[in-house]
Structure 1
Amino acid sequence: MSEALLIHHAPLARGFVETWTLNDPVSRNALSVAMVDALLAACERAAADTNLRGVVLRGAGGHFCAGGSLGGFAKTIGQPLDAGEADPLVPLNRRFGTLLQALCALPQWLIVVVEGAAMGGGFGLVCCADRVLAHTSAQFATPEVTLGIVPAQIAPFVVRHLGPAAARRCLLTGERWDAATAQRAGLVDEVVTGDMEAAVQAAIARHAATASQAVAATKRLLLAQAETPLPALLDDAAIAFAQALRGSEAPQGLAAFAARKPPPWSAKT
């Protein structure tokens, strides 16, 4: 495990939940190459772990993520390439897009917890969440255009999460949103004024009432929605529905419902 990313396990009924903590408080958890690599490795492992039911992504030291770290690019800023030279910045930036894809494609539910700054690339991470909790201290912005930079990899994910109008407003102005404004824009699901840890546990319990295979299949359909023609998407949805009814979860879930009991995968059992 990289020191740039701390991973903590906690048991749930029929599996466990992991908390992934971005761990560079001095930089307000700016996205270094090491941090991106650690997150990608965690996503790859999680995608194959059938016992992992959910992920909570948060930051250390009172902030979520201040965006991309430009420290390693200092010598390249303002410097043109030599004729015929391949730009090493291109694959580095594209790798962050690969991370955003991997987070969106996680078969587990993903809760993002925002305290303090969620800027630039951190804003992009938030857009990958299935549920977003924001403390009243949270501040959200995509300030790239105010710095002469392009919000290149996050833009498609911001549009997908917020819709074109809200995405244009934040991406083209760099305006800063507090937690309440972000909630009105659809970026945040819950604004937390009190104990964040209690709110996180309540969100975990809410998601832990869901069945893992059903969640994974539903997320695949949601992810495919933007790229798949409707008839083909509905065909895939019908197959997923039939497979779920014939699988192991539906009989247990429906029997528990009929008996007015919690399902066997619920955190309450």
Structure 2
Amino acid sequence: MDTLLIERQGDVERWTLNDPASRNALSDAMVLALYEASLRAQADATLRIVVLGGAGGAFCAGGSLGRFAVAIGQPLAPGAHDPLVDANRAFGDALHALTALPQLLVAVVDGAAMGGGLGLVCCADRVLATRRSAFAAPEVTLGLPPAQIAPYVWRRLGDAAARRCLLSGTRYAAEEAQALGLVDAVVEEQALENALQAVLTQARAAAPAAVAVTKRLLQRLQAPLPDLRDEAALALAAALRGPEAAAGLQAFARREPPPWGQTAGGAGA
């Protein structure tokens, strides 16, 4: 199964995260496909717009631990190279490549955009969402840092809103995400395609080379983001092997509050 479906429609490509059974969680294969598609698109002068969405009633559930699940809570052997670092750095590379697209990037969110999925949304130039969509960076509630996505969430939301989002794991409904500035427009599910077509029509009024130059200038106008990809990958790998992640993810699987979410008497806070 292709984890990223790519459909060309004239000067538009639709990229669809395609693993509905996992709510389109970011597997290694999906991350690599996003990265390679972004590099190819950067060199395609005939492509004007990229539309990123998810299959099966979800946008993206976040990172998939997959084959690394056995490493959770397990210290790394002295001197060993940690494969968790490489996997997370690869996701950082995909985010970096998406942000560097010279084309207009439109995220179409129908359903949950969690963790890494929120990071993908924050790379977009325009974001459409249905009313049933929800957004969160729940990593800290699981004992993990939202390491690779933090710079992109910070740039999209600004410092204060990014801190509220990243340091609390708060879940935002579509209208709340619009108020934050994360989402540009919220529509009913059945109106999503019409809303997207309206965005595409408006986008075609802008010359593609001018759009590419403007995106580059806007990135330079903002305070340059430090390249945290290596540091973020190391931080997440260390957290996954630590005790908080083991306790947090175990509690999540059991639908129980994590140890730090309990009162002294043991009841959930």
Asked if 1:155 corresponds to 2:154, the answer is no
Partner residue of 1:213 out of 209, 215, 232: 209
Aligned to 1:53: 48
Which of the pair has the greater relative contact order for Cα pairs under 8 Å at 6+ separation? Answer: 2
Asked if 1:101 corresponds to 2:120, the answer is no
Aligned to 1:263: none
Distance across 2 between alignment mates of 1:226 and 1:9? 32
Give SS of 1:204's match: helix
Question: In the alignment, residue 4 of structure 2 is paired with which amino acid?
Answer: L
Give SS of 1:149's match: coil
Q: CA deviation at 1:154?
A: 0.2
Q: CA deviation at 1:227?
A: 4.6
Write out aligned runs for 1:96-175 (5 A). 96-175=91-170
Q: Percent identity between the aligned chains?
A: 62
Contact 1:46–1:52 under 8 Å retained in 2: yes
Write out aligned runs for 1:214-233 (5 A). 214-227=210-223
Write out aligned runs for 1:176-215 (5 A). 176-193=171-188, 194-215=190-211
TM-score, scaled to structure 2 = 0.81
Distance across 2 between alignment mates of 1:91 and 1:73? 12
Aligned to 2:35: 40
Aligned to 2:6: 7
Question: In the alignment, residue 94 of structure 2 is paired with which amino acid?
Answer: L
Aligned to 1:234: none
Distance across 2 between alignment mates of 1:185 and 1:61? 26
Give SS of 2:89's match: helix
Distance across 2 between alignment mates of 1:9 and 1:92? 29
Give SS of 1:19's match: strand
Q: Max radius of gyration: which structure?
A: 1
Aligned to 1:76: 71
Distance across 2 between alignment mates of 1:33 and 1:82? 23
Contact 1:104–1:223 under 8 Å retained in 2: no
Structure 1 runs, 4 residues or longer, greater than 6 Å off: none
Distance across 2 between alignment mates of 1:202 and 1:106? 21
Aligned to 2:80: 85
Distance across 2 between alignment mates of 1:162 and 1:185? 7
Give SS of 1:56's match: strand
User: Any idea what the Cα deviations from partners look like across 1:18-39, whole Å, max 9, x if unmatched?
Assistant: 0000000000000000000001
Kindly report the root-mean-square deviation, in angstroms, between the aligned alpha carbons of the 2 structures.
1.0
Aligned to 1:237: none
* Unmatched segments (≥5 aa) in structure 1: 229-269
Question: In the alignment, residue 43 of structure 1 is paired with which amino acid?
Answer: S
Distance across 2 between alignment mates of 1:221 and 1:177? 31
Question: In the alignment, residue 185 of structure 2 is paired with which amino acid?
Answer: E
